[in-house]
A and B are shown apart, each in its own frame.
Chain A
Amino acid sequence: MTSLTLVRRICARPSIVFEALTTPHGIAQWWGPDGGPVLLAETDVRSGGRFRVRFRLLDGSEHESTGEYLDVVEPKRLVMSWQWTSGGEPDEGGEVSRIEIDLKRIDSGTEITFTHARLKTDVSRASHERGWAGALDKLVLHFSAQGIVDTQIRGCIEEYAK
C-alpha cells in the first residue's frame, strides 16, 4: 500500500481553487497526466454524492474513474474515494483508493495539499504476502532523491490582498 502527497502553492484564492477542483467545467481544464482532453466530467459535490471523469490520453487511449465525495467543506477540504472503471491501471483490479485535498489560505493565495492514499497494487500485495514488506519503500528511498513527497513552492507575481 502506497500513498503520495503533493503540496503546491497557487496564486489564487481558495474559493477559486475549490471551484476548479469540483465543477465539471473546472475539472475539464486540468484533469489528466498529459495534454489529452477530458471527455466527460460529472460532479455531485456533497457528502455521498458521486463524480465521474473520462479522459483521453495523447496516445488515444481512454480512461475513466469514479468515486464518492466523503467529506466536503467548501472551500477548505475535499475527501473522495476513487477507482478506475475503465482503462487506468489494470493491476489494481477495481481497488478503491482515497483522495484527500486540503486548501489552506495563505498570503499569496492557496496552499493545496493533495494526498492519494490507500493505493494497493499487485507488487505491494505480493511484497506483503511474501514477507518482503518494506523492500519497495526502501528501494524508492534509495534510488529516488525526491522520495514520495513532492513539494513545489514558487512565488507569485504579486501578493494578493487578504
Chain B
Amino acid sequence: MVNYNERQLDRTFAALVDRTRRAILARLEREPSASVSELAKPFAIKLPAVMKHLDVLDDAGLITRSKAGRIVTVRLRPEPMREALDWLRRYERFWSKSLDRLAAYAENKEADARKKGR
C-alpha cells in the first residue's frame, strides 16, 4: 500500500542473501566501525573476495567506506535495512493500527452498554 522503492528493496535483499555479507553487517551492527582487514579476519576467504562483498554492500547503500591514509574504515548504513524491515512488516502495521482502533471503538461501546445498565 505504501509505495516502496522496489529497486532499493531488490538491491537490499540481493545483498542480504549471502551469508558472508550478513555476517559483515551483523558485526557492523555491534561495532560502530571496522577496517577492511579487521572485517576480513574471521573469514576463510581472501581479501579481494571480501572487497567484492563490500562492493555489493556499498552499492546497496548498506555500508559506507571512508579512506584515511592506507586504512579504509567501514560503517553500517541502516536506512535501507529499515525500509526492508518495514516492507516485511507491512501487514503487521496494517493490522496493529486497525486493532488499536477496534479496541478503542469496542471499549466505548462497552462503556455505553454499562451506562445503560446492560
Contacts and interface: CB of A to CB of B under 8 A. Distances in A.
Contacts of B92: 4, 6, 148, 150
A4 to B, nearest CB: 5
Interface stretch (A39-47, A66-74, A138-146): A138-146
B1 A16 contact: no
B107 A139 contact: no
Contacts of A31: 98
Interface stretch (B33-41, B53-61, B64-72, B83-91): B83-91
B79 to A, nearest CB: 13
Interface string A13-35: 10011011100001001111110
Main secondary structure of the interface of B (DSSP, over half): helix
Given A16-B113, A33-B94, A140-B85, A21 B1 contact: no
Contact of B107 (A12, A114, A144): A12
Closest 10 CB pairs of A and B: A12-B110, A30-B101, A12-B106, A30-B102, A33-B94, A29-B105, A10-B103, A20-B106, A17-B106, A16-B109
26 contacts: A8-B99, A8-B100, A10-B102, A11-B110, A19-B109, A20-B102, A29-B101, A30-B104, A31-B98, A33-B1, A63-B1, A89-B90, A109-B110, A112-B99, A114-B99, A119-B91, A132-B17, A135-B16, A136-B13, A136-B88, A139-B84, A139-B88, A140-B88, A143-B85, A148-B89, A160-B110
